[in-house]
A and B are shown apart, each in its own frame.
Chain A
Amino acid sequence: MNKLKEMTMEQKNKLVLLIILAIISGFAIIGQGYLFVMIIDRIFLKDHSFSEITPLLVGLVAVLLTRTFFTFWSGRTGIKMASIVKGKLRQSLLNKFSNSPRQASMHGQSGQKVSVMMDTVDEIDSYYSSYLPQVIQSSVIPIMLLIVIFMEHWATGVIILVTAPFIPIFMMVIGFKTKDKSEEQFDKMAAFSGTFLDTLQGLTTLKLFGRSEQQRDKIRKSSLDFRDATMEVLKIAFSNSLALEFISMLSIGLVALEVAVRMIIFQDITFYTGFLMLILAPEFYTKLKDLGSAFHTGRTSMGAAKKLENELSEQEQAVEWGEASIPTNQPPSIELAGAGFSYESNGFAIENISTVIRPYEQVAIIGKTGAGKSTLLNMIAGLVSLKEGEMRINGEKRERISEKSWFDSLSYISQDPYLFSGTIADNIAIGSIEETTREEIIKAAEKAGLNKLIDTLEKGYDTPIGEAGRGISGGEKQRIAIARAFLKRPSIILFDEPTTGLDLQTEQILQSSIKELGENSTVITVAHRLYTVKNADKILLLDNGELRATGTHTDLLESDEMYRNMVHTQQGGKAE
């Protein structure tokens, strides 16, 4: 809500414009009333000829044109404001997400973020495109009308002044009641409306159990329950407008009665004044009623604004980088000194990790599920900032290394690499910093054992993949990631080894490819294969977020009981 106000104030000019436009529309409405009354009065009572009133008719058309035009302009201004706000909101969300280390390290909740960026931002629209212009019109124009009414015939003004306050009072009283009632009904409504989706999602299960017939009745019943719950809330809203209608009816009736009595019995006002009152008074109430419906549209936006505010308020520290570059001719040494990291949200932490990874070393990170293996890998990758201790690259603090030069020398082969929409060739080429030729791409694909697969595809390297493209299996994705690495030839490779489910061929390709890549680089693997662990120059054994032991296979077999157990159960052929 504050966010909406704040963003409105950023567009003060437009706000002022809206007020001016409302004033002009107000004049047009008043002018329209006057002209209608004047023309009828002159023809009906004053016996003017048609040619005499022609200028008035022309004036009337002009006034109506003005009224329509300025109302249009006001709506258009609101729409433009909405566009600016939506653009800005998306930009600030984007800034926030792209500087968020969490985005890089955790995959969860991306779906929800997509919906915030698409739908929630769009929901803001109606606040500017209809609520705001309407509120301004409804606050400016009735006052103008009231002034004119008072000037022409104060008794009508008094009647309006006495009855009009009942409208906001009524609205508030009923509004409170509706709010309680709606909140009470809201959970119910959400549950009912969810049943349909729930049923569709479970249709396979239902059919397998022969229950789909019964479920149809359940849908019908829950839809009817949903209807009844909604109608409870709506009924109140409808009585709300019924009350409004009655109040305005009552006061317009009073105005008419007073005017008629004055005209006939006292004969102290003219037809002209009386008719004018009868035309202006309804305009007054219409504007107030519009406010009620505008409020309704505004409410959705306010809910959306709150969501966005929450999303934007969680500020996160972006990962810091510097200027220094890393030499490209050989891998840098990587040193962790008392390094630690924790996620604020779930309190999970790894702490006090100290180790040195020398150039060309093959390192295996091992540990049970949840020991912090992936977190350590993300930390080394520079995707998150350390919460304690430091990380040094060739003796220089990681924060002083330039981001570009660091990522230029790094490849990260995760278990689930992301494929972008584009062709297979595009997806391999993304690995390289420089422009690549088709031959280079083909060579990289061959090394990753992809060529056979690609040859079977009709469009070969130009087969579209990613969102909307051909489905790619997990093993194939990793091979594409490996092809990216072959193209890039990085000096540091981070590899999240897959667990099971690969075919023998992919297993072999992974092993040989990583071996080949490792000839020219440091390889740090979250290892799941005994083969990888045995061949590592250094094993980092994590336990509960701490570095329990470091050493080679032989070292650890001798010194660490946990490691011994792990290897033992493994060779017994049973996991855990």
Chain B
Amino acid sequence: MKGLRTVILVLLKEKKDIVLSIICGFIAGITAVGLFSSSGYLISQAALAPPIYTLMVLVAVVKLLGIISALSRYGERYFSHRGTFTMLGNLRVSFYEKLEPLAPAIFQKYRSGDLLSRIVGDVETLQNYFLRVFYPPIVIVLVFLVTIFFTTFISIQTALILVLGLLLTTFVVPALFGYRQRKVDRKVRQRRGKLSTDVTEFLYGFRDLKIYQQVHDKEKDLLQSSNHYVEEQERESIHNLFSESVNTFISLLVSVTVLAVGAYLVTVGQLDGIFLALLVMISLTVFENTTAMAAYPSHLQDSRQAVARLDTVVNEEEPLQQNQTETMEQGIAPSIEFKNVHFSFPGETGDTLKNISLNLPAGSKTAIVGPSGSGKSTIMQLLLKIYPVGNGDIYFNNQSFLQATQESVWENANVVLQSNHFFYGTIRENLELAKDGLRDEEMKEILRNVELGHFDLDDQVLEKGENLSGGEKQRLAIARVLARKAPLWLLDEPTSSIDVLTESKLYERLFEVAKDDTVILISHRLTGLEKMDQIIVMEKGTIIESGTYEELMNQKGYFQQMKEIEKSVFLGE
């Protein structure tokens, strides 16, 4: 239960809905018991031909109970669902609060895009926790306790049988099956994982499979995994059904026992026969609610797993910011210095960056180039404090970077990443992210500056900007930082999907705006670098050359060879 504690804490914020759900559930349950038992009593009374008014009272009671029961059932559903959705919102917020300090490093670690959808799915799973795990047992136990209490006035023996039945159907049977459930469940997940891998490989690798003539074999594998998975699912469903059936049967058996014991007591004269029907009706009705308990273990299990998975995501690493309290100097273009910086990615052997030393004066313009995998983006990640520097240190205006908070670095920087997120909404909303109080005119001006003049501020942007082309997204990302006006520019391949002509126009404007600022541009292309103060060429985590364009070309080294290859690239896309 330890894992679920966090969820329970979030849950308890909605006390009102919880209490109302429990009260309504309890009333609905107890009135149903009252309704059926009094109708049993009514019919027995009727058999003895009582005065008509007793009958009228009973009928009125039955009706009243019926109406109360139906209404409170409605209330129970309403409050429990409202509580559930409110709780879902709280859970999202609480999880967001935990995840937020870990970003963006955590996203670097889990490269696969489905981590996030998994998180969302797991949080969604937890909505069942209140609805199916947390409050139903409380209601059941309450209804039972009150019913049993009243039964003791009629027949102690029956009350004891009910207690036994409660223990069996609500605790013993679910616990027994819950134990087995875990094993079955684990197997289903294994099989599902296998099938999912097979399907993914089959579909994504289809062309290669076709050419290597492996389609047939893979198809057979896939069908086999599918069958295994279906078999395991079947086993699980039957297991659940069986546990439900056992539970139902036990509850019916309890009612038979109530009947047998009651009948015996009547024959020996210890119980008035008029109560027999009543007792049986009580027993049949009160156990109707316990069938739901059969599904309890699987819901509990789901919630547990969801929490465990969420916990591993947020608890795996400590946020970086601890002990980092200093703020970087704001509002001035910094000089940047790397002194013997080493870095390796967590969990990987071998340095991604080896002994990097750099000196970028304030207001200078630097380009970092190199093949993919050479470590140029890693430099960017270190500058953004997404990862801590392994060895060595970075200095901004001679102030050590080590103690500075992430926020103070970001606040001073205009950042364009390789992939930039755009939110569902409008162009305006996405631009407003950059700065408060931007006027429409300003935003339109900026859009024109990035050659997006044809966009209207109210144009819709879909999730992840999926209705925008790659080039449009990059231009919009540049627009966003243009609005921001911070004195340090960190640009990671900001124009890779933009054609050379537009690119040079963009750079011209950008460098105009940033003429007094420090700019670091990571570039995949070697064009347009002639005006940079410094070009740093990287390969395999080291700086192999640096200098101005002219110097590097005259040097006839790596840069010049890369330039030759680029020249020979025939109509590169």
Contact = CB atoms under 8 A, between A and B. Distances in A.
Contacts of B238: 76, 79
Contacts of B245: 68-69, 71-72, 75
B346 interface: no
B86 A574 contact: no
Interface in B40-62: 40, 42-44, 46-47, 49-50, 52, 55, 59, 62
Interface in A371-395: 381, 383
Interface in A85-138: 86-87, 90-91, 94, 97-98, 103-105, 107, 110, 113-114, 117-118, 122, 125, 129
B235 to A, nearest CB: 9
Contact of A197 (B74, B120, B264, B539): B120
B85 A226 contact: yes
B428 interface: no
B423 A198 contact: yes
In the A-B complex, the 8 residue pairs with the smallest Cβ-Cβ separation, listed nearest first, are A223-B89, A227-B85, A503-B371, A202-B421, A418-B205, A271-B47, A44-B273, A204-B104
B274 A44 contact: yes
Given A114-B196, A383-B210, A527-B570, A267 B204 contact: no
Interface stretch (B63-71, B334-342, B388-396, B512-520): B63-71
A207 B100 contact: yes
B237 interface: yes
Dominant secondary structure of chain A at its interface with chain B: helix
A533 interface: yes
A418 B207 contact: yes
Interface stretch (A1-9, A15-23, A336-344, A470-478): A470-478
A173 interface: no
B199 interface: yes
A61 B254 CA distance: 10
Contacts of B199: 114, 117-118
B440 interface: no
A570 B568 contact: yes
Interface residues of B, number: 145
A165 to B, nearest CB: 20
Contact of B524 (A202, A212, A501): A501
A105 B208 CA distance: 11
Given A208-B384, A270-B47, 20 more contacts: A40-B276, A43-B267, A53-B263, A64-B253, A68-B248, A87-B226, A104-B210, A114-B196, A201-B116, A203-B103, A205-B417, A207-B406, A211-B433, A215-B96, A223-B92, A231-B85, A271-B46, A408-B213, A421-B201, A467-B201
Given A220-B93, A256-B43, A431 B433 contact: no
A29 B120 CA distance: 44
Dominant secondary structure of chain B at its interface with chain A: helix
14 contacts: A44-B47, A86-B226, A98-B219, A118-B192, A204-B104, A216-B97, A220-B89, A226-B85, A227-B85, A253-B66, A274-B46, A418-B205, A473-B372, A575-B571
Interface in B247-268: 248-249, 252-253, 256, 259-260, 262-264, 266-268
Interface in B321-343: none
A230 interface: yes
B187 interface: no
B252 A64 contact: yes
Nearest to B216: A98
Interface stretch (A244-252, A345-353, A355-363): A244-252
B272 to A, nearest CB: 9
Interface in B412-437: 413, 415, 417, 420-424, 433-434
B571 A571 contact: no
Contacts of A256: 39, 42-43, 59, 62
B205 to A, nearest CB: 4
In this complex, the member of A40, A246, A257, A410 whose beta carbon has the largest number of chain B beta carbons within 10 angstroms is: A40
Interface in B556-573: 558, 561-563, 565-573
Interface stretch (A154-162, A235-243, A293-301, A309-317): A235-243
Given A44-B273, A501-B524, A72 B89 contact: no
Interface in A454-477: 456, 458, 466-468, 471, 473-475
B203 A114 contact: yes
B438 interface: no
Contacts of A246: 67, 70
Contact of A75 (B241, B268, B407): B241
A544 interface: no
Interface of B: 36, 39-40, 42-44, 46-47, 49-50, 52, 55, 59, 62-63, 66-67, 69-71, 73-74, 77-78, 81-82, 85-86, 88-90, 92-93, 96-97, 99-100, 103-104, 107, 111, 116-117, 119-120, 123, 192, 195-197, 199-208, 210-215, 219, 222-223, 226-227, 230-231, 233-234, 237-238, 241-242, 245, 248-249, 252-253, 256, 259-260, 262-264, 266-268, 273-274, 276-277, 280, 349-350, 370-374, 384, 406-407, 410-411, 413, 415, 417, 420-424, 433-434, 463-464, 480, 484, 499-501, 524-525, 527, 539-540, 558, 561-563, 565-573
Query: For this complex, into which size category does the number of interface residues on chain A fall?
Result: 35 or more
A530 interface: yes
Contacts of A250: 66
B501 A576 contact: yes
A151 interface: no
Nearest to A229: B85
Contacts of B410: 207-210
Nearest to B123: A196
Interface stretch (A258-266, A326-334, A441-449, A515-523): A258-266
Contacts of A98: 202, 206, 215, 219
In this complex, the member of A227, A271, A576 whose beta carbon has the largest number of chain B beta carbons within 10 angstroms is: A227
A449 to B, nearest CB: 14
A83 interface: yes
Contacts of B422: 202
B96 to A, nearest CB: 6
A125 B277 contact: no
